Amino acid sequence: MQALNPYLPSWEYTPDGEPHVFGDRVYVYGSHDRFHGHVYCLNDYVCWSAPVDDLGDWRYEGVIYLKTQDPFNQDGSMCLYAPDVTQGPDGRYYLYYVLDHVSVVSVAVCDTPAGRYEFLGYVRHPDGQLLGTREGDEPQFDPGVITEGDHTYLYTGFCWAHDASRHGPMVTVLGPDMLTVTQAPRTLIPSAPYAAGSGFEGHEFFEASSIRKFGGLYYFVYSSVVMHELCYATSSYPDHGFTYRGVIVSNNDIGISSYKPAGKPMYYGANNHGGLVQIGDAYYIFYHRHTDGTNYSRQGMAERVQLLPGGEIPQVEMTSCGLNGGPLPGKGTYPAYMACNLFTQEENMYTGGSGSNGFWLDGRFPRVTQDGRDGDEEPGYIMNMTDTATCGFKYFDCRGVKRITLRVRGYAGGYFAVKTAWDGPELGRVPLKFSNIWTDFSADAAIPDGIQALYLTYHGSGSAALLSFTLE
Indicate which residues carry an active-site annotation.
Answer: 16, 207
The answer to whether 88 and 176 are in contact (CB under 8 A) is yes
User: What's the rounded Cα separation, in Å, for the pair 441 and 253?
Assistant: 31
Can you say whether residue 336 is alpha, beta or left, with left for phi > 0 and alpha for psi between -120 and 50 degrees? alpha
Closest CA to 334 of 272, 401, 287, 251: 401
Closest CA to 5 of 416, 207, 447, 303: 303
User: What's the rounded Cα separation, in Å, for the pair 166 and 404?
Assistant: 54
Q: How many CB atoms lie within 10 A of CB 91?
A: 7
The answer to whether 26 and 19 are in contact (CB under 8 A) is yes
Which of 111-118's residues contact partners 24+ apart within 8 Å by CB, and which partners?
113/20, 113/22, 113/23, 113/25, 113/27, 113/47, 113/49, 113/85, 114/27, 114/47, 114/49, 114/61, 114/62, 114/64, 115/64, 116/63, 116/64, 116/65, 117/45, 117/64, 117/65, 117/69, 117/93, 118/69
User: What's the rounded Cα separation, in Å, for the pair 158 and 154?
Assistant: 14
User: What's the rounded Cα separation, in Å, for the pair 25 and 62?
Assistant: 16
User: What's the rounded Cα separation, in Å, for the pair 330 and 399?
Assistant: 7
Amino acid in the structure at residue 167: H
Helix, strand or coil, per DSSP, at residue 439: strand
The answer to whether 415 and 432 are in contact (CB under 8 A) is yes
Backbone angles phi, psi at 36, to 5 degrees: 65, 25
Closest CA to 205 of 226, 180, 175, 177: 226
Helices (H), 321-468: none
User: What's the rounded Cα separation, in Å, for the pair 470 and 31?
Assistant: 34
**CA gyration radius, the chain:** 22
In DSSP terms, 368 is beta-bridged to 382
402 burial class (0-12, 13-18, 19+ CB within 10 angstroms)? exposed
